[in-house]
Chains A and B, each alone.
Chain A
Amino acid sequence: MSDFIERSKFSCALGGAITTITAISKAIPIVHASGGCAAALSNTYNLSSGYRGTGYCGGNMIPTSNITQSHIVFGGEEKLAGQIESTIRYIKGDLYIVVTGCQTELIGDDAVGVALKYRENNVIGVSTPGFKGNTLRGYDEVLCTLIKEVVEKTDEKEEKKINLIGIVPGHDVFFKGNIEHLTDLLKRIGIRANTFFGDGESIEKIKTYGRAKLTVVLSETAGQLAAKAFENVHKIPYITTDLPIGPKATEKFLKLIGEALGIENKIIDRVVKDEKKYFYSYLERIVDAASDLDFQRYAVIVADSYYAYPLTEFVSEELGWIPYFVAVNDIEDDKLQEEYKNKFDRLTSYTKPEILFENKSGIIEKKLDLIFKEQTGSKYHDRPEPMFIIGSVVERVLAKKYGAGFLSVAFPVSNRVVLNKGYAGFRGALTLTEDLLSELVSAR
């Protein structure tokens, strides 16, 4: 049973559905719920996701059935049907996706059934009431429906084509940049990646995703249901790995996918060699400052599982920082927690981080307070200073409290504007290094 959450870093399933749909080119959400849900949830991502904005048809542009008291009594299916009919006339879209809120699901409206009647008008329906789960659940529900209803079935597979999922638009504030970095890299080893949300993707292209040979999921908590749907419906196997940040992680990532698709090692090695050379030719620039000013930091990471390990791995394995403490905000299942924790054994730093699975910000703060407090009272104390906190904007106050450096990477990020920036791969890792170290020199 789930517990209450303090300072949640997630919205609900409907929020996840809306942020997902509005990230697909010319896909239009039709929200069957009370009037406020669509704009409010869309707005969560417009602002908290590095000012991603409403986009083509988000925010208060989202068609909504505007359910009120009387529909709760008499049912809202008729209202929804009318709303679908007017939306397909008045809003230009390649696909219309009916998604549902708590109110209409509680009263038993069959919104998916109503949507089905308009299938020839490119309308599909997904059940996404807020109480079904968080953002990630909404993402998976939408993708599963696309995979079942829109992706065309075919026995023909393309040997070097993959579906790359688990990067949740909006929830990963850097989703666009990350997708771009990874697809560019994969292209260089001969692999084409379907991404749903990357530049150049479209509903027409999504229809062909059934031709992929493999699905790669970059998250344990998002995209797993979608990967299973690809497997069940389109017979595409899947593997799960981490978002690669930095040379070492990216090399592993490319080898893993390359091996699964039978790409020759020497092709991958050549790309890795070139990119590594490029990476270090730039990283070299900060060597003097990093050494003279002693940039090594105790790293505290507070993020959801999608970012927590990859960020820890990057600062530990590439920058040589001390991975000190990691709070993971989204895994509740004991077994999954254990598996996730095991990843950190791979770190080569002599200090291994303490891992806490927690979604109450107050408890995380208490824990960090304790780490600091243990050291007070004595003349000499070996506190984890200088500290750097990588988290979301929520952790900004902690950084201030402990005098730590700070960068918001995980959702929510409302203190930065993010356009096409990404942190994945070799080049993304350079950008991340820029952002981290800029913090350390910003007052100079």
Chain B
Amino acid sequence: MANALTEDLKYDYLSVDEPPVRDERIGGCTAYFGCCSGLKDDFRKGCAQALNRKFSQSGGCQLMLAMGIINTISNIVTIIHSPLGCCSNLAGMAGVRNISRASRGLKTENQTFIHTNLDELDVVNGGIEKLRRAILYADKEYQPEVIAIMNGCVPGVIGDDVDGLVRELQPKVSARLVPVHCEGFKSRFVSSGYDAANHGILKYLIREPKDTDESGTETEYESKERISKTVNIFNVGSNSHKDELELSRLIKKLGLIPRVVPLHASVYDLDRLGEAALNVSICATHDDYLLGHLKERYGTEYVLDVLPIGINCTNRWLRKIAGHFHLEKEVEELIEEETKELIKAIEPFVKVLKGKRAFVGGGETRILTTADFYRSIGMEIVGIKSHNLDRFVQYLLDEIDNPHLPVEVAAGQPAEELNLLKRLKPDIYIGHIGANGWVTKLGIPNIPLFGTTINYMGYSGAYELPRRAARALKNTNFSKNISENTELPLSDEWMKTDPKKNIVRGALF
């Protein structure tokens, strides 16, 4: 059951330089507008996966998501092999990496990144020589443990042989060289970026650990004992350290040893990914590639199921883990104890939120689990928007009992979403970064779907979700003022159009 979501998927791609993009490996739907039951049918038949849109707005790029993983590794220099625009958002994130590191008690490190700054001449002559100089500079100046090379669209189109250069330079430098193939144009699923980064980590970064533990004092028996109880929790860029603490706390209560990887991990930790009895995903969309591969490589079983958000999903997540260790009795005790306390604590918020109409938009697993929680405390879910839709959430979709629930599948595309929101007029919107600002301009109070300092996971997260929503409704002046005094660029014609008409079949992807 644990592997139902990944049944018939293969994870033996290490022999190739580039992993297959999600379009080939997983497939899925990137454009839909309709009701929940329609989407379920169309997805099952494979029709939803063939849809595209006419009027389109900017979405995401897999390079950014790959960078979101790679950039967290300790003692790393990243080289963006591209013109200056790719990852230029790093310019304004000078402190963000260190805020994350400091919150985890890690040593702060200057964020070092290099652009190969490909120009018109490089487009003609190739950018390999510049990349070579950049790698040698990074190795000499900073002696990092890892140098990651993020491949942008330009080298992808002109055909720079980055892997060839890495093979040539690896014996000459002290850092481990990790090429990451994440050219934006290659996939319409930004989640391909997760696979690209994980592929780089699996193929080039991790090596056989020399000792089993840092001090070298652990006996073989102790080491086996430790590993037999160790649970790797695979974190994601959208979870906070508080989330990690909460999930670790619950794992510990079951008598197991939690270890949070791969984000913010050191090379030492990554080399020891195999030293665990169980690998546990908190978001299937993020890391099936990683967990599936680790199963093939080290034989480690994995749980790839639900995001531990809200009471039902946290319970379910814990039961899956406990099941592996035959801790069924212990987990039921834990769940009973935790939920009893929590349900009492959220009572005042539930009172405020009961009957309130909510809309949730963002990544597929996050929105479906978040919506499920708000529904479970008596809110009315009036619509959902998912960035994409694939096999990993099909069962969550099946569990929605309102066949008429309006559903949009779109990465970004605020025009479609605002059109829908204007019709639905929810009391509160819970959404992905990039969407909330537009929703404020529409006059709808909102809270973010996730945040790097917000705890939404586990039971403490299930306290925060209603607490934040209730707070947002205590004073809605900001969105009211903004909507009265700013203008959205969408024309009346668009706002009167049914966004369903924007979805087309058969267009080129």
Contact = CB atoms under 8 A, between A and B. Distances in A.
Given A28-B489, A59-B437, A86 B95 contact: no
A2 B57 contact: no
Interface string A393-409: 11011000000000000
Given A12-B83, A39-B60, A39-B434, A415 B415 contact: no
Interface in A380-429: 393-394, 396-397, 411-415
Range of interface residues on chain B? 35 or more
A61 B437 CA distance: 11
Given A91-B490, A130-B85, A40 B91 contact: no
B64 A7 contact: no
Contacts of B111: 7
A8 B508 contact: no
Contacts of A102: 83, 152-154, 157
B119 A61 contact: no
A121 B141 CA distance: 54
A39 B412 contact: yes
Interface string B490-509: 11011001000000000011
A6 interface: yes
A250 interface: no
A74 interface: yes
Contacts of B115: 4-6, 8
Contacts of A68: 185-188, 508-509
A141 to B, nearest CB: 13
Nearest to B110: A397
B385 to A, nearest CB: 12
Contact of B92 (A48, A57, A79, A83): A48
A34 B185 contact: yes
B59 A72 contact: no
Interface stretch (B120-128, B200-208, B255-263): B120-128
Given A90-B415, A130-B82, A40 B89 contact: yes
B415 A61 contact: yes
B88 A63 contact: no
Range of interface residues on chain A? 35 or more
A68 B188 CA distance: 7
A4 B85 contact: no
A38 B184 CA distance: 12
Interface in A1-18: 1-15
Contact of A69 (B117, B137, B185): B185
Given A60-B57, A65-B56, A92 B490 contact: yes
B61 A34 contact: yes
A37 B130 contact: no
B154 A36 contact: no
A39 B62 CA distance: 13
Interface stretch (A131-139, A189-197, A217-225): A131-139
B324 interface: no
Interface string B61-89: 11110000000000000010011111011
Contacts of A89: 491, 493-494
Contact of B489 (A43, A93, A131): A93
A5 B84 contact: yes
B11 interface: no
B487 interface: yes
B210 interface: no
Given A34-B153, A36-B190, A62 B55 contact: no
Given A6-B114, A8-B115, A39 B86 contact: no
A237 interface: no
Contacts of A414: 91-95
Contact of A44 (B91, B134, B509): B91
B88 A396 contact: no
A103 B153 contact: yes
B489 A10 contact: no
B55 A87 contact: yes
A262 interface: no
A107 interface: yes
B252 interface: no
B493 A70 contact: no
Contacts of B133: 3-4
B489 A56 contact: yes
A44 B57 contact: no
Given A4-B134, A414-B92, A79 B508 contact: yes
A73 to B, nearest CB: 9
A36 B64 contact: yes
Contacts of B92: 44, 47-49, 393, 412-414
A160 B91 CA distance: 40
B248 to A, nearest CB: 31
A10 B84 contact: yes
B94 A41 contact: no
Contacts of A10: 84, 88
Interface in B226-277: none
B84 A134 contact: yes
A362 interface: yes
Contacts of B141: 362
Nearest to A130: B83
A350 to B, nearest CB: 34
The CB with the most chain A CB atoms within 10 A, among B94, B120, B134, B158, is that of B94
Nearest to B96: A414
A305 B380 CA distance: 56
A414 B79 CA distance: 22
A358 to B, nearest CB: 13
Nearest to B65: A36
A235 B61 CA distance: 43
Given A102-B153, A131-B118, A7 B113 contact: yes
Contact of A396 (B93, B95, B153, B493): B95
A309 to B, nearest CB: 22
Contacts of B94: 393-394, 396-397, 412, 414-415
B212 interface: no
A239 B370 CA distance: 59
Q: Which 3 A-B pairs have the closest CB atoms?
A: A36-B61, A48-B92, A12-B85
Interface of B: 23, 54-64, 79, 82-86, 88-89, 91-95, 110-123, 130-131, 133-134, 137, 141-142, 152-154, 157-158, 184-188, 190, 411-415, 434-435, 437-438, 487, 489-491, 493-494, 497, 508-509
27 contacts: A2-B119, A4-B130, A4-B133, A5-B84, A6-B113, A7-B91, A7-B112, A12-B83, A42-B58, A47-B89, A61-B489, A63-B57, A67-B185, A68-B509, A69-B186, A69-B187, A74-B508, A91-B415, A92-B489, A106-B158, A130-B86, A131-B83, A131-B122, A360-B137, A362-B141, A362-B142, A393-B95
